[in-house]
Chains A and B, each alone.
Chain A
Amino acid sequence: MLRKSRLKVQEDIPDSSMADIAFLLLIFFMVTTGFFNDKGLSIMLPGEAQGSAKIPKQNLCKIFINSAGNIYVDDQPMQEMTTISNYVESRMKENDKLVVIIKTDVNARYEWMLSIFDEMKKIGMKKISLQVNKKR
């Protein structure tokens, strides 16, 4: 009699805390997950070999940024980004071989150069040359 009743005892794996364990792990992974969301402007640096190609002067558009943040486009001072992009765009329409040179002073802010670069990308200019003014 006793034996029989013993056999009837059901053996269960306790699973009532399963959900708690799963949620704990879930919260851990939710907190540690950092979705990769980097954005940027891509450029291709020139290799060591090239870079000596001569470009005729009429195909050049020179943008100079000095250390005070003044911007000169073809030696004319320009302040507004829209004026610069309009000017370059009009020159680009006249001449499809146009190359833009962005010459930045070493002490200029990176932000200024990037905003010009962004403007050039916006108007679809692909031939951009980055130069630096090392003279003090």
Chain B
Amino acid sequence: MAVIKRKKKSADAKIPTASMADIAFLLLVFFMVTTVFKVDSGIDLQLPLAEKVEKLQRKNLAIVWINDQGKVAIEDKFVPMEFVSNLMDQKMFETNGELIVEIKADKTARYGAVDAVFEELKSSGALRVVLGANVESGGR
């Protein structure tokens, strides 16, 4: 009896770790493929809330940020309102005219600032616009 017990104790239980690296690499490849590094981290603002929202595609998208002071930022840089149409002209050229502009404006921004951006977009012919909104409170 005693002999058997001893034998059982000495048999060490190991977790098989041979496939650990494979699992890790599998997950790694998944994240590498899905990762898109953010070029446009944006400015700090609170989007308004809406219910009837659609999901946006990343393709051919340009984001125009408007903060609560009515300042406009494109690709992490504050730009004067008069330059928005120049930048959009360039983007229209890059995307072969299939540009979609997302306007992310703070909910307390003046409507006049949003309207001024509309005017700029109209003059560069970027007519497909999406007004960014959140479904529930919180977040960007």
User: Which A residues lie at the B interface, using CB under 8 A?
Assistant: 15, 18-19, 22-23, 25-26, 29-30, 32-48, 65, 104-115, 117-118, 121-122, 130, 132, 134
Smallest Cβ-Cβ distance to A34: which chain B residue? B38
| Residues of chain B lying within 8 A (CB to CB) of residue A41 | 50, 52-54, 130-131, 133
| Residues of chain A lying within 8 A (CB to CB) of residue B115 | 104, 106, 130, 132
Smallest Cβ-Cβ distance to A37: which chain B residue? B55
List 9 A-B pairs, Cβ < 8 Å: A15-B21, A33-B34, A39-B53, A40-B131, A44-B127, A47-B127, A108-B110, A109-B111, A118-B133
- For B, the interface residue count at a CB cutoff of 8 angstroms equals 53
Is there contact, CB below 8 Å, between B133 and A110?
A: no
Is there contact, CB below 8 Å, between B55 and A39?
A: yes
**How many angstroms from the CA of A130 to the CA of B115 in the assembled complex?**
9
Is there contact, CB below 8 Å, between B129 and A45?
A: yes
Is there contact, CB below 8 Å, between B134 and A108?
A: no
Q: Is B114 among interface residues, defined by CB-CB distance under 8 A?
A: yes
Contacts A41-B54, A45-B121, A117-B131 given: A18-B111 contact, CB under 8 Å?
no
